[in-house]
């Protein structure tokens, strides 16, 4: 059990750090081929590298790809225990603006509707986020409603940094060697693309998303489908039996995808197709889909459906050409993590030590941990405590910062005691 002094320190330190971090614009850019995808991610990386140096961590590095690495030396006598890694990502989702975030603390939440100062068109209620019922009496942080908040994943960064501060401040906290890594571009699926495998230990944990008490050891098997429709432009007044309108046909094609297999109609372990956008002219249209499920077999069924649809449409519209490309993005990390019993058992126990029930949760998405696990580094995900990520209604209770930081301290203690 941690002392009240340490708990109070973790709460104050993590929240203060978070309020600073979210003001730094770090939106990633899915259309960019640069590494990182947006230059502004370097700004927060630079801040974090300087703070890690101030905390006397060693081998602090902010590399040309935007990754930040640092090593926390073990307590005396614990230098030979297994090294673990703690990972969070710097970028925020391009789905909603992350520029000029203005965090707001709603004190002593009373269960009523939360309004947003910069967006009167939206509100936050328990209908939007039922978990709010459990936060009555707590302080809740949101944006002003014109941007996302950025708790995904600046909450994870703040919680890791607060734990680092506590390890340096309170000598009674036992820990072995720990590597810190902050990654760019997780939100666009490239968080591990340029990661330095040599800097990471054999076991890591991401601190990213999910509600208090959640431990995630399973995620989607993920594919991306890129479809290009090539048609033929003819003057519309003389177009009969000649015009092949690529954009119009693309709309028909996409409408064939089963509505009940879309994100807005699925939950729990149900997979989906998700249309990320459609751009087009008469002669050419492009669309990108993501395909998600917990098993490869179900995703293969969806991909075969799209291939059959492609063949059907090319027969239906003579002269139409459809190019369909599939790219595997990441695998279900359960297959890799379940082989390492202590990795999960210690995380479960650390959550319990922080006074919470453990909720094993399957991620309806992915984390850097999915790729790392596939690379041979089992990497479960520990909660940050936020909700409604990637939206203007994103929120997190301040209590979550303390609890997540407590879990990290307990986790380090368990590995040091092994």
Catalytic residues: 91, 186
Give DSSP secondary structure letters for 3-60: -HHHHHHHHHHHHHHHHHHTTS--B--TT--SSSSSTTHHHHHHHHHHHHHHTT-EEE
User: How many other C-beta atoms lie within 10 A of the C-beta of residue 418?
Assistant: 10
Pairing of strands 214-218, 359-362: parallel
**What token pair was written down for 166?**
């506590």
CA–CA distance, 98 with 44 (Å, rounded to integer): 13
Give DSSP secondary structure letters for 113-131: -EEETTEEEEEE-TTT-GG
CA–CA distance, 326 with 31 (Å, rounded to integer): 17
Nearest to 155 by CA among 62, 86, 88, 66: 88
């Amino acid at each position: 059990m941690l002392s009240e002094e340490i708990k109070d320190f973790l709460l104050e330190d993590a929240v203060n750090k978070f309020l600073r971090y979210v003001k730094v614009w770090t939106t990633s850019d899915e259309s960019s081929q640069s590494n990182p995808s947006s230059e502004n991610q370097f700004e927060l990386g630079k801040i974090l590298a300087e703070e890690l140096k101030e905390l006397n961590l060693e081998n602090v590095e902010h590399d040309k790809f935007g990754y930040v690495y640092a090593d926390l030396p073990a307590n005396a006598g614990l230098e030979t225990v297994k090294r673990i890694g703690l990972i969070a990502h710097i970028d925020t989702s391009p789905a909603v603006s992350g520029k000029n975030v203005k965090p707001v603390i709603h004190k002593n939440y009373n269960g009523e509707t939360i309004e947003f100062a910069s967006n009167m068109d939206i509100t936050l209620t328990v209908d939007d986020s039922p978990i709010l019922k459990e936060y009555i009496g707590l302080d809740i942080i949101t944006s002003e409603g014109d941007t996302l908040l950025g708790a995904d994943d600046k909450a994870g960064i703040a919680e890791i940094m607060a734990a680092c501060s506590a390890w340096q401040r309170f000598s009674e906290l036992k820990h072995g060697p720990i590597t810190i890594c902050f990654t760019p571009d997780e939100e666009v699926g490239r968080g591990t693309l340029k990661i330095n495998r040599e800097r990471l230990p054999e076991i890591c944990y991401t601190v990213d998303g999910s509600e208090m008490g959640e431990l995630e050891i399973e995620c989607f098997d993920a594919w991306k489908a890129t479809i290009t429709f090539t048609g033929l432009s003819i003057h519309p007044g003389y177009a009969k039996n000649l015009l092949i309108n690529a954009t119009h046909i693309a709309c028909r094609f996409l409408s064939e995808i089963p509505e009940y297999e879309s994100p807005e109609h699925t939950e729990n372990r149900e997979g989906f197709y998700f249309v990320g956008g459609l751009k087009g002219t008469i002669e050419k249209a492009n669309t990108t889909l993501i395909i998600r499920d917990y098993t490869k077999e179900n995703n293969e069924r969806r991909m075969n459906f799209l291939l059959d649809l492609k063949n059907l449409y090319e027969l239906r519209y003579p002269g139409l050409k459809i190019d369909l490309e599939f790219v595997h993005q990441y695998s279900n990390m359960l297959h890799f993590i379940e082989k390492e019993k202590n990795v999960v058992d210690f995380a479960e126990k650390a959550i319990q030590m922080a006074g919470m029930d453990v909720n094993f949760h399957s991620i309806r998405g992915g984390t850097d941990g999915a790729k790392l696990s596939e690379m041979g580094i089992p990497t479960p995900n520990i909660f940050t405590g936020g909700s409604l990520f990637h939206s203007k209604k994103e929120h997190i209770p301040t209590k979550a910062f303390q609890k997540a930081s407590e879990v990290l301290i307990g986790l380090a203690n368990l590995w040091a005691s092994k």
